[in-house]
Structure 1
Amino acid sequence: MDFTSTQDGDSSQLPNSGGRRMVPLRYVLTPIAIILAAIFILIVATVLAPKPVKKPQVFKAPLVEVMPLEYQDTTFRIASQGSVAPRTETRLVSEVSGPITQVSDNFLVGGFFRKGEMLLSIDDISYKVALQQARSRLETAEASLIEEQARVEQAEDEWLLTGKSLKDAPVMALRTPNLKKAKAELAAARANVAEAEVKLARTKIVAPYDAMLKAKNVDIGQYVTTGSELATTFAVDYAEVRLPVKQKDVEFLNLPRINQGKGQGMAVELYYQLAGKTYRWPAVITRYEGVVDSASRVHYVVAQLDDPYNVLNKSSRDEIRVGTFVKASIQGKQISGVAAIPRSALHGADRIYLAGDDNALMMQKINVLRSDLDYVYTRDKLDTGLRLVLTNLDTAVEGMALRIHGEEGERLARDEAGGKAPQNSQASF
């Protein structure tokens, strides 16, 4: 409504007597009408718009890789480690006294000696004199015995002149004690000569076996006394490695009994890595110590390594030094009917996934016979038609459908050869 003044000067007839101007009504209704019209058009357009075609939801079974379960005879190898030690180590001690007059050119730490080869020599002049004196006493004792035997014969002749039997003669008349004394002095003189010869021989210190010098305690010119430690040697004909074996691994080894002496030829491979290269040596188990360590609860077997320094046979293989820490792979028993399962196919401690002939997932628990870094082994007899699933599934449900890698292409090829159009497989989860 438009309120306007028809009479000038009549201010009492104005609706807005305070001077406020009124907004025309068309200004209010026009925007509302436009909004209502837009809403109406939008609703009509929505109703008349074509609806999208609904497509069926297709679920594809997960694609997995499988392998057949194969049972075969398996020889397990037991891992261990230890340090190379000499089979014999000897501290050479002087049995005579005197200054050292000569040493071998190889009398150095690391020097090699053949059995019987001289390491050093102690001054032997006093022992040569002692030997000569002992021989002189021996000759004197021999002469005394000859003289006494002659006197005994003379005494017997004189007794027979009496007409009596020698059985009736007193021992003093026949000089029997004197003869025994002369024989005893001769035996003592011979023993003194033997002792003097031994002491003279011991002035030459020789290698008791094919040996390498580990420690050198004396040198030329040094005076040594009886009991002085001269050097330490160790044998190089073969070395030994003491290998710990866990209780759970003992049943996989052919350990010899204590009264059987040497082992049963269990082969061992010793190896270590240095600068990216692996060095290997063959060895063999020679004995089982037969005692369980009370602290670690492990058993110990001993491996023998022939000619570790490669000085006896001069072969082309590398030497292995005493004290080297090596790893060992021991050949164990051969066990029949064992399936090897890759560790990647194991779920949890003892669960595996299997695919049947219908490509449905099966979950199976197994009894683990043994495990290593790459495989777990079981003797559980599973259906030969089952295949081991190697692919790790994010969500695994018993009985879910699987697509086998390599079989999908074969199925499509068979369908095309038979004139069938390939269809998408559907599975709900």
Structure 2
Amino acid sequence: MGRLVSILAPIGIIILVGVGGSVVLNMIKPEPEKADEPRAGLNVFAEPVRRGDLELSVSAQGEVRPRREIVVAPQITGRVSYVSPDFIDGGFIKKGQLLVRVEAADYELAVIRARSGVASAEQRLAREIAEAELAVQDIQDLGLDDASPLARREPQLAEARASLEGAKAQLKDAELALNRTAVYAPFDGRVRERSVDIGQVAAAGSALGRIFANDVVEVSLPLDDNEMGRLGLPLAFAATADKPGPKVIFEATVAGEPRQWTGEVVRTAAAVNSMTRQINVIAELKDPYGAGADGDAPMAPGLFVNATIEGETIPDVLIAPRGALRGEDQLFIGDAEKGKLSIRTVDLIYSDTDGAYVRSGIDEGELAIVSPVQAPFDGMSITVMERLEDGTVKVYDPEDRTDTETGNASETSIAVTGAEGTPQ
């Protein structure tokens, strides 16, 4: 018995000391600091909704072409004796300027022959008039009352007068052919191409070159029905002084530099294209080589341009960032005070790269979410972040709010150096 006690006594002492030490250590150890719970919800960037005016516009593309362009051709046949030094590819020409002249010798001789024929016809008419007067006098002297028209020489007199008119017509025709030996420019413009030179025989109606007027150029812009409605243009539109067409901004790169010209819509095409179901809107630019040019860059024919047609202005609409638009008519709004996602269906007017324009469904100052959100649902927990102009990010933290009187979420600004739109 004594031997058993001697064995169990040390074991009991060890157990008692261990348990007591453990109790004492638990009593004197410091309380562990509790870490703040991580913020719940998805971090998303948002931008405030603002008010402004919506300027409706439509973009299109087209090729510049002159409003007037003709083929230069002679009306008579002959050898070319003169070509204007300005009648060359790219040359500037003036209205009434002599471009080409055909040898006129044959046509001058024809005028001389025609004048001779007129003189002969005039002499014959004078003789017939005299003979008719003598015939009438003889009839009166004989006291005849039933003399025939032939006896009075009336048919002969009518024939002489007709011959004179025919001779005069031949003279006019010869003079007209002589005048047509010279080809003049019908308008101010430029030469697109020339296909004739001195010594070449030109046939009547053969092409000598092409010229176009430089007073006005046109661009045909294809638009669909929705775009026509956005501009408020009817299918049979024609601009007038009382109702001018919409303003058009043309843009193109010329000689490596971006250029811009300002014109206007003047009319629509007569019919809808059966293949594309679009209608062409014709826009004009006046004086493309002068006042209408962008500095030293004219809007030359053949140039391919981008056009922006300005439509009507709708005042006082709500403007959300374009990235906040989901589907056709939904916006994700972040409730910064509650840290919740709100899915709104809005009355969308129009959207472009500058924003989504809305009549109703949101309020000015609300935060529209631009970050991607997977599997969203109304009331989803989020943390709203707004990027400021100075590059810092304002974080709206509803869980740290302590001011119960104002009811506003607390705000923390932090510097963000990561990629745009990615929380750091």
Pairwise TM-score range, normalised by the shorter structure: 0.7 to 0.9
Q: Which residue of 2 aligns with 1:29?
A: none
Query: Is the counterpart of residue 248 in structure 1 residue 232 in structure 2?
Result: no
1:290 to 266, 270, 282: 270
AA at the equivalent of 1:255: L
AA at the equivalent of 1:131: V
Q: How does 1:264-303 map to 2 (within 5 A)?
A: 264-274=244-254, 277-303=257-283
Query: Is the counterpart of residue 152 in structure 1 residue 143 in structure 2?
Result: no
> Aligned equivalents of 2:364 and 2:251: distance in 1?
41
Report if the CA contact (8 A) 1:356-1:385 is conserved.
no
Q: How does 1:300-379 map to 2 (within 5 A)?
A: 300-310=280-290, 316=295, 318-336=297-315, 338-355=317-334, 358-359=337-338, 360-379=340-359
2:371 to 392, 395, 414: 392
Report if the CA contact (8 A) 2:93-2:190 is conserved.
yes
Shift of 1:283: 0.9
Q: Which residue of 2 aligns with 1:382?
A: 361
Report if the CA contact (8 A) 1:352-1:388 is conserved.
no
Q: Which residue of 1 aligns with 2:236?
A: 258
Report if the CA contact (8 A) 1:357-1:385 is conserved.
no
Q: Which residue of 1 aligns with 2:9?
A: none
> Aligned equivalents of 1:199 and 1:242: distance in 2?
40
Q: Which has the higher strand share?
A: 2
Q: Which residue of 2 aligns with 1:68?
A: 49
Q: SS at the partner of 1:108?
A: coil
Report Cα offsets for 1:245-268 as digits up to 9, x if no partner: 122211012325538565732111
Query: Which has the higher mean CA deviation after the structures are superposed, 196-205 or 382-391?
Result: 382-391
Q: How does 1:52-201 map to 2 (within 5 A)?
A: 52-55=32-35, 57-59=37-39, 62=43, 64-70=45-51, 72-165=52-145, 168-201=146-179
Query: Which has the higher mean CA deviation after the structures are superposed, 388-397 or 177-186?
Result: 388-397
> Aligned equivalents of 2:296 and 2:90: distance in 1?
20
Report if the CA contact (8 A) 2:136-2:152 is conserved.
yes
Q: Which residue of 2 aligns with 1:228?
A: 206
TM-score (norm 2): 0.77
Identity %: 29
Report if the CA contact (8 A) 2:77-2:203 is conserved.
yes
RMSD (Å), alpha carbons:
3.7
Report if the CA contact (8 A) 1:256-1:264 is conserved.
no
Report Cα offsets for 1:200-236 as digits up to 9, x if no partner: 1111111121132112111001112223221111111
Change (3 A) 1:275 1:373: farther
Q: Which residue of 2 aligns with 1:18?
A: none
AA at the equivalent of 2:95: K
Query: Which has the higher mean CA deviation after the structures are superposed, 292-301 or 339-348?
Result: 339-348
Report if the CA contact (8 A) 2:287-2:293 is conserved.
no
Unaligned runs of 5+ in 2: 1-13, 387-393, 413-424
Report if the CA contact (8 A) 2:321-2:370 is conserved.
no
Q: Which residue of 1 aligns with 2:391?
A: none
Report Cα offsets for 1:274-304 as digits up to 9, x if no partner: 4653211111111100322122221101111
Shift of 1:46: 11
Query: Is the counterpart of residue 207 in structure 1 residue 202 in structure 2?
Result: no
> Aligned equivalents of 2:70 and 2:93: distance in 1?
14
> Aligned equivalents of 2:411 and 2:66: distance in 1?
73
Shift of 1:86: 1.2
Q: SS at the partner of 1:302?
A: strand
Shift of 1:384: 3.2
Unaligned runs of 5+ in 1: 1-36, 425-429
Report Cα offsets for 1:351-372 as digits up to 9, x if no partner: 2122458554311133543332
Report if the CA contact (8 A) 1:64-1:404 is conserved.
yes
AA at the equivalent of 2:178: L
Report if the CA contact (8 A) 2:396-2:411 is conserved.
no
Change (3 A) 1:98 1:186: same
> Aligned equivalents of 1:52 and 1:412: distance in 2?
22
Report if the CA contact (8 A) 1:78-1:332 is conserved.
yes
